[in-house]
Chain A
Amino acid sequence: MKEDLMDIICCPVDKHELELDVEERDDEEIMEGTLTCTECGEVYPIEDGIPNLLPPDMREEAPA
């Protein structure tokens, strides 16, 4: 994802702002990282450049 996505995304549950933590960048894109809700504290993963913003109860646990 590009960082400008931060302008419009929010927590899917309570619609509060998300805080970006970048673990890996590739040119203009964030490949790995997390998005943490500043309200409820839920952590949403960014994997292979794709943010997963499913509500926690719909997100499957990643296979070990």
Chain B
Amino acid sequence: MSVSEEFDRWAREGRDEGMEQRHWHTAKHALARIPVEAGDTVLDLGCGSGYAGRALRETKDAARSYGLDASPQMARNAREHTDDADSAYLVGDFEHLPFEADSVDHCWSMEAFFYARDPGAVLDELVRVLRPGGTFYCAVNYWEESVHSHVWDERVDVPMVRWSEREYRERFRAAGFRVAAQDRIPDRETDIPPASEFPTDEWESREAMVERYREHGTLLTVGVVP
């Protein structure tokens, strides 16, 4: 199935808002770190419900935020969440960015990068569209060291790329980024039931669930364009 079709289905089922709620636990900490200045143009790749662009407009006074998603239904839902014409949404493919060179100040992406068929192409495109000094804040909950996340690829009908932390750094550098930071942001908000309630439908043991959320959390890799 194509990403547009798969995520159109998710969007029709209203799953974009569930993602927003779950991802916000760690996304808000990462978004707060992006060095957006008043007047900047920011881009959100695979924006889903579009919450990140709206947050950067509201909290950091970005002049314009653009959310790009391959699913037309996601973009329609995202647009309905706001009356702000400077929080805009586009349908597009992050491997073929419809933006001119040096036109964007900062880029954010949460839980979307690994859906790329060619992740190197996404990084090349970002190095092209970001201005010198521009950053890419790439957040993922699915990666090699986060062992409990590995089962997810069976639940989604599109292929997923599973890099290690080192591969993220190496591939960012190979595309022309400097790696400014990489760390794991723990999710301290997802409710973890007492040990007596395990195993649950999702989790064998409480330890595994604690490791997934409180220790692995979200991997954030920050690339800067020289």
Contacts and interface: CB of A to CB of B under 8 A. Distances in A.
Interface of A: 1-2, 4-5, 7-13, 15, 28-29, 48-55, 58, 60
Given A10-B99, A15-B100, A50-B89, A58 B2 contact: yes
A55 B93 contact: yes
A50 B87 CA distance: 12
Contacts of A9: 90, 98-100
Q: Give 6 closest A-B pairs by Cβ, nearest first.
A: A53-B98, A12-B96, A8-B103, A52-B91, A12-B98, A53-B92
B144 to A, nearest CB: 28
17 contacts: A2-B88, A5-B88, A7-B103, A9-B98, A12-B93, A12-B97, A15-B100, A28-B85, A48-B76, A50-B76, A51-B90, A52-B90, A54-B91, A54-B93, A54-B96, A58-B93, A60-B2
A58 B4 contact: yes
A25 B97 CA distance: 25
Contact of A50 (B75, B93, B98, B104): B75
B89 A54 contact: no
B224 to A, nearest CB: 20
A43 B89 CA distance: 19
Contact of B99 (A8, A50, A60): A8
Contact of A49 (B79, B93, B100, B104): B79
Contacts of B92: 12, 52-54
Contact of A8 (B5, B41, B79, B86): B41
A54 B70 contact: yes
A49 B75 CA distance: 10
B104 A13 contact: no
B104 A8 contact: yes
A36 to B, nearest CB: 13
A20 to B, nearest CB: 13
Contacts of B104: 8
Interface in B81-117: 85-86, 88-93, 96-101, 103-104
B64 interface: yes
Contact of B90 (A13, A29, A50): A50
A50 B75 CA distance: 8
Interface in B3-48: 4-5, 41
Nearest to A55: B96
B93 A52 contact: no
B72 interface: yes
Contacts of A11: 98
